[in-house]
Structure 1
């Protein structure tokens, strides 16, 4: 059972803190919701307490798993195949998994692809979302500011993927 103060990740939205549990009336029926406060963008998301499993809510990764994220960021980017539309949908599906390694791979691939030749506006929005989701979780995992996490991420990507 989740509690107020728990740090969790909501796929496609990022990491946040459960700031409360509220009951709202929907179609004449009282329904209980977790209120998730998202630090990036200062957004509030409400998730039905009886739908946590389906929503994909999970705990923020522990600090000892940050190395896995770094490994993904340092890994060779996957070659983009097919039209931007096919790539977009494939990346979207990976991000929906909620797995931080998938999100890191999508962010890495799109960031590096954008550095070589500009990506489409749809892929750019996806890149920004992947980056934001990744940063939001790492902020909680390593207790750093979004700026510190972003600098670290940029440093890892630049060091590992210098242009030849």
Structure 2
């Protein structure tokens, strides 16, 4: 269970902060909800606490980020995939909310972009995945998003 003030990552949405825990009745059912503020989207979400498939996680620690940055800069990409295969794999990775898999999406799409033009869907995915990675890196390292982008060379 998360606590008020925890920095969290919400898959496909990015970094947020648990601002509160509140109880609400919706359609006759009373449940507890995390009240999450997502600054990147200037949005507030209510996520049921008992919803096991939300994949919310705490922001990674510095050691985890170091390992991910190593994979980001030195990991292998599979250039033989078609854009449809690549898009499906990358979509599935983004849905997990995993820091490592999100970094792999950014790495692989950036490499592909350097070789040829990405489809509009892949370009959109690259932009979104990059923002999410930059957000988490800036939170972990206590730096601005601009500094995080520079560290990733995005």
Pairwise CA distance, 1:146 = 1.1
Report the TM-score, using the length of structure 2 for normalisation. 0.90
- 2:79 is paired with a residue whose SS is coil
The answer to whether residue 48 in structure 2 is matched with residue 71 in structure 1 is: no
| Corresponding residue number in structure 2 for 1:37 | 37
The answer to whether residue 89 in structure 2 is matched with residue 94 in structure 1 is: no
| Corresponding residue number in structure 2 for 1:22 | 22
| Corresponding residue number in structure 2 for 1:160 | none
| Corresponding residue number in structure 2 for 1:112 | 111
Which 5+ residue runs of structure 2 have no aligned equivalent?
none
Pairwise CA distance, 1:80 = 3.2
* In 2, Cα distance between equivalents of 1:42 and 1:112: 31
> Could you say which structure has the higher helix fraction?
1
* In 2, Cα distance between equivalents of 1:80 and 1:87: 9
Write out per-residue CA displacement over residues 10-65 of structure 1, whole angstroms, 9 at most, x where no aligned residue.
122222110112333311222221111112122222210111x3211111111122
| Corresponding residue number in structure 2 for 1:158 | none
| Corresponding residue number in structure 2 for 1:8 | 8
**CA shift in 2, pair 1:2/1:76, >3 Å:** closer
Contact 1:80 1:87 in 2 (8 A): no
Report the TM-score, using the length of structure 1 for normalisation. 0.85
- 2:86 is paired with a residue whose SS is helix
* In 2, Cα distance between equivalents of 1:143 and 1:19: 20
Contact 1:16 1:136 in 2 (8 A): no
- Deviation beyond 6 Å, 4+ runs, structure 1: none
Q: Figure out how many residues of one structure are paired with residues of the other and give that number.
A: 154
Which 5+ residue runs of structure 1 have no aligned equivalent?
156-164
| Corresponding residue number in structure 2 for 1:148 | 147
- 2:36 is paired with a residue whose SS is strand
Contact 1:39 1:136 in 2 (8 A): no
